[in-house]
Amino acid sequence: MNEEDGQGRQDRADAVDREMVARLLPEAVVRALGRWWEVNASAYADGTPGAHTVRYTPGRWAQITPWPPTLAPTSASGDASVSRAEVAAAVADALQRKAFREALVATYVWGKGKRGTPGGSGPATLHRILSFDGLDAVLAAAVTALRDHGAPQAYAALHRKVPGLGPSFSSKFLYFTGSVVPPARGPRPLILDRVLARRLRQIAAAVGRESGHDVDGSVAAWVWSDSNWTPHRYRVYLSFMHAATGQLATGDSWPSGAAPDLLECALFTTAWESSG
């Protein structure tokens, strides 16, 4: 590995990270988010995405136990729906009983919704995750790390610890856990998945090009890849998202008291044209 592949590339990544924090959301993104808010203001009038609802098919998850009592029974026919607020309530109930697996199931079903790949990868993957002998200990350690240290440490406690439980669904578990167990310090957890990583990659590529730190976008593609984000990258993500929420609050096209997860929800469904 030469210097450019190793420390040199990391130095460039750090430089782009610093530039992103200094510049925050480009004007094109701010305008796109303003349009999103115009459409969704009534649904999220409280400044949170608690009403964000997904549909799922309970019968697809018949093999999954333990099953959260707040979700529709797997014997039910047809589809059901569940909101972020309802998942948060389910996680609160489960964690009060130290039913860590049940909390994970609630967040996983919400996160997967009606999506899936051939072969029923959602339920099948979750079944494999739940079959891992050390799962309870890992989830308990993540909750403890969140409570005693912070979100990046909780993410690190889950990172590559459970076969099949990748960073996207780990961050979903932490996000909903964070509504019940506030971190000892630092920002609350947020969801980071492939879509959000691509949004940040787009911003990072523009910043890198404009600043000269990443003219060809290779560093942005490296750090904001489609999966396997490191605990360091998760920390960078949280810092950027919370700072960007403050940036939006100073304008007139975004609710001033909005929570950072409203920005996460909006970015997930918002597209914009890149300049240059």
Nearest to 90 by CA among 72, 75, 77: 72
Please write the tens of the pLDDT for every residue from 179-211. Answer: 999 999 999 999 999 999 999 999 999 999 999
Please write the tens of the pLDDT for every residue from 12-62. Answer: 999 999 999 999 999 999 999 999 999 999 999 999 999 999 999 999 999
pLDDT-based confidence at residue 274 (cuts at 50, 70, 90) = low
Please write the tens of the pLDDT for every residue from 65-79. Answer: 999 999 999 999 999
Radius of gyration of the chain measured on its C-alpha atoms: 19
Residue type, 223: V
Which alpha helices (DSSP H) does the chain contain, by range?
Answer: 7-23, 27-40, 84-96, 100-112, 121-130, 135-148, 151-158, 167-178, 194-211, 218-223, 231-249, 260-269
Lookup result for tokens 């920005």: 263
Say if residue 118 is preceded by a cis peptide, omega within 30 of 0: no
DSSP 72: P
pLDDT > 90? residue 267: yes
d(CA 228, CA 250): 33
d(CA 209, CA 199): 16
pTM attached to this predicted model: 0.94
pLDDT of residue 224: 98
- What is the end-to-end Cα distance of the chain in Å, rounded? 32
